[in-house]
Structure 1
Amino acid sequence: MRHLSTNPYVKSVSTKGITYTEAFKQLFIISSQQGKLPRDIFEACGFDVQILGMTRIKAAAGRWRASYKEQGDLGLHDARGKHSGRPLKRELTLEEKNARLEAQIHLLQAENELLKKIRLAERGLEPRVKLTPSLRYRLIKAVIEKYHLQRMVSYLCESTGVSTSGYYRYWSASGIRVRTQKERVDEEISVHVRRAFQFKKRNKGARSIKMTLEGQFQIVWNLKRIRRIMKKYNIVCPHRKANPYKRMMKATHEHRAVPNLLQRNFKQSVPGKVLLTDITYLNYGKSKRAYLSTIKDSSTNEILAYHVSERMTMDLATNTLLHLQKNRRFKRSQDAFIHSDQGTHYTHPDFQEKVKRMGLGQSMSRRGNCWDNAPQESFFGHFKDEVSLKNCTTLDEVKREIKAYMTYYNHYRYQWNLKRMTPVQYRDHLLEAT
């Protein structure tokens, strides 16, 4: 480009092409009529044939000769589209311009209808719509069919920002066949995803579905595919929402009853060493309330014992200890202890005496700090999300529902942070490792 720009017969030069002066074109035509070859004419005017290449020289020569033959000297003028040697672009007729304007108006109306649906979806009044290229292709086809437009595909594709080739490829027989095949595969996958989602009648999120598919159905799919299928077929798992009225403030008071032996070291990879306990309330029926006390193995997340009562008495905590004693699967580890908050049930002398008789140590969270017993609080949160007690009318029905969930939780509920195992499987895994 630097070499060519110094030539007086070059008007401009860029990476895309060379624009020659009109004087050079006229000189070329005169010399060509005298019988000189294009190569000799270019070399005589200071052009390096090796740089230009014979293909470019022959193309320019043919274009100028044809233009001169058709229009004379006017054909050599460089008016960029009017009298140059390049093919002229046909002017659109008034009818064609009106047709294009009408097609664009119809397309804008269709887009406005689609945008209205998108706004309604954002407000939760319509299913969510995303303006993807495939949706634009369907929109263009619908506008063409509705208003009987002809030869408007390229123009409408350009107006919506999609390629014409993509439009024809989308509506080709092979494109429709591929989409139909993908739709059939997604339908088959959705059946398995729904089975895992409703396994044991407990709704699950994408990660739980993945682990259930692997553990129960021996099907291995990645999370992206599962999440895509859930979104496509509206398979929604309810999410726990934080209570805005509860402020998790870090307490500054030291323990007044028992020191904190745990110090949030929840995962010690030793089953039966760190036991967590707490009490929560359960609403059921019509304005009825029950109370649930549990003891959880912090290392394996297994629920070792639980007790349900209509009253929040001292027996609620002590009976849970009795159930732990009767659990034959529980094997107390060396230096095992039970951790709780500073509730009256756990600071009571009767509870502490029973803990000592069982050979366990005792640890307590800081006052008002639920993070010191976070795994237990997390279990209660998932429990209330996954158990439906609204249809229970009696305490016995509540107990049956809780018993079914505890079996499901310990033996069938896979957990991502337990190497995608259930609590019982992970317990056995840790015991084998030791």
Structure 2
Amino acid sequence: MALIGAIARNRLERAIRKGCIEVRFPDGKTARYGSYRVRPVRIAIASNAWLRRILLDPELQVGEAYMAGGLTIEFGDLYDLLDLFWVNFLADGLPAARLPALFRKSARLIAQFNPQERSARNVAHHYDIGNDLYRLFLDEDMQYSCAYFPDAEVTLEQAQELKKEHIARKLCLRPGDRVLDIGCGWGGLALHLCRSEDVRVEGVTLSCEQYELARKRAADQGLGDQATFRIEDYRSLTDEYDRIVSVGMFEHVGVPHYQEYFRQIAARLSPDGVALVHTIGRAGRPGATNPWIARHIFPGGYIPALSEILPAIEQAGLTVLDIEVLRLHYAETLKAWRARFLARAAEAEALHDARFVRMWEFYLVCSELSFRHGVHNVFQLQLGKRQESVPLTRDYLYQPDPIPVSKRTKSCLNEERRHQNVR
């Protein structure tokens, strides 16, 4: 066991160059690593068994140890600790993690093979754990995806409204349009689109709890005739739609199914239709899902690189009309979620247990840091079959807010057509 401690001390001595960490090892001895000019994050490792597990597979076992109490924080908080690990270890790649990461990347086609039955189980694992949990930290509309923060003064509620409006504008809705919402969540976006324009929205989800609440919300808001929801896999759909939107669902599709996903969008989209896919994206090259996230949070999930998405779009016969990269917006969203969740941690513990609270905190923190450090961002891909399906510039997205969506869309389209006629 002395060898395990020596390896850990040597690795920390060589790696910690930014910040400072103080570690109380299982033998009771404490050592400090990094700069002595800053206040350290202080942690304790409960046993040599936990120390060995962390050394052998840190990407998985740091989270496991924090959940189980094998790693405790005596000074500072989890954000401080993981941020310190990130800038000192993960920025240049953690040597101990390379072999496990190579194996996971090699096995990812199996891990992300998501036929309909498996997709339903994966969705239930995360989304059917109780709506009361999500009410603890989401905005009032229960938007569980990246918000849109034009400046630091915007609240979470405002940022989520702006996100929905931004998407609505990109869809260029027309009165009477039939809209498909793939992975509709608790129905907030679908209801927003119905209020924005005289359209009919059909939302599909694999989550029973999301489905029940979405239906109730539509009825309570008097939109039951415009917004309908059902439990159905997107691959089973056969109808044609004028507009298709999918927010925060593509991360659950899995690499083996990308062509299937975009071919289904192409098959369901009308000839002059517009589709908008909003997804978390990998800023760099293709990789593998973090093993702790895959085990505890999103089984079967994967954050794609743009180089993995575009070939599937091309092969489906769709045209990329626009790609927007939202940088740091999700970091701010997750920061707000984390603050709200920790403020109501006692309620979360009453719903589940203390281990669950530590798990969820770890999930929110490591997710936020992945955006802070530029590993992940958000892609909004606007797709169609015809180049003229949307205006030629993005001006229509930034018209003054008081103009209703219907008037704004018509005005922008008419303006583009007038310029085209002049030319």
TM-score by shorter chain over 0.5:
no
Q: Which has the higher contact order (CA 8 A, sep 6+)?
A: 2
Structure with a larger share of its residues in strand: 2
Report the TM-score when normalising by structure 1: 0.20
Question: Which TM-score applies when normalising by structure 2?
Answer: 0.21
